[in-house]
């Protein structure tokens, strides 16, 4: 399980002064992915058009290339701007199976300055029930620190 304080400090140091969204996403996806054995796929989907996400930097196997806001867990997080914690992806209506190994998922909205939706952070696990509110709180705080002023 991640030591979120240590991870946040490492991400803070690596991202200091950087303003390029893709560079920040790449760095954060890498650091997150290698910090916790629960994380089977870790990456970002970027808002590229109204109601449309496209894959961004990630770690793990292949991801879906395009996700409309109307579909899946990532779409729900983008549409509602609320963290989605899914203990069993089979129970989520409209779940998009980008990987057959995914059993649970957490997706967090990535919001910049002036409430601009930049994208979503998607973390999948091959374990059921891998994520909880502690994960949501710690990851949300890191996202706000890294992307909140962009």
Burial (CB < 10 A; 0-12, 13-18, 19+), residue 122, is buried
CATH number at residue 26: 3.30.450.40
Distance set, CA 24 to CA 9, 18, 43, 101, 127 (Å): 14, 7, 11, 27, 27
Which residues form the domain of 91?
4-147
pLDDT of residue 2: 78
pLDDT of residue 40: 96
For the chain of 150 residues, list the mean pLDDT of each consecutive stretch of 10. Answer: 92 97 98 97 98 98 95 97 96 85 96 97 97 98 97
pLDDT of residue 14: 97
Tally of domains within the chain: 1
């Amino acid at each position: 399980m991640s030591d979120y304080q240590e991870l946040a400090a490492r991400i803070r140091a690596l991202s200091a002064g950087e303003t390029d969204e893709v560079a920040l996403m790449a760095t954060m996806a890498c650091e997150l992915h290698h910090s916790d054995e629960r994380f089977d796929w870790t990456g970002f989907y970027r808002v590229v058009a109204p109601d449309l996400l496209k894959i961004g930097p990630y770690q793990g196997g292949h991801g879906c290339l395009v996700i409309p806001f109307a579909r899946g867990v990532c779409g729900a997080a983008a549409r509602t701007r609320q963290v989605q914690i899914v203990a069993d992806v089979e129970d989520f209506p409209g779940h998009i199976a980008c990987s057959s190994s995914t059993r649970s998922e957490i997706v967090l909205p990535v919001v910049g300055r002036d409430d601009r939706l930049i994208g979503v952070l998607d973390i999948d696990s091959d374990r059921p029930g891998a994520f909880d509110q502690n994960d949501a709180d710690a990851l949300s705080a890191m996202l706000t620190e890294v992307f909140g002023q962009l």
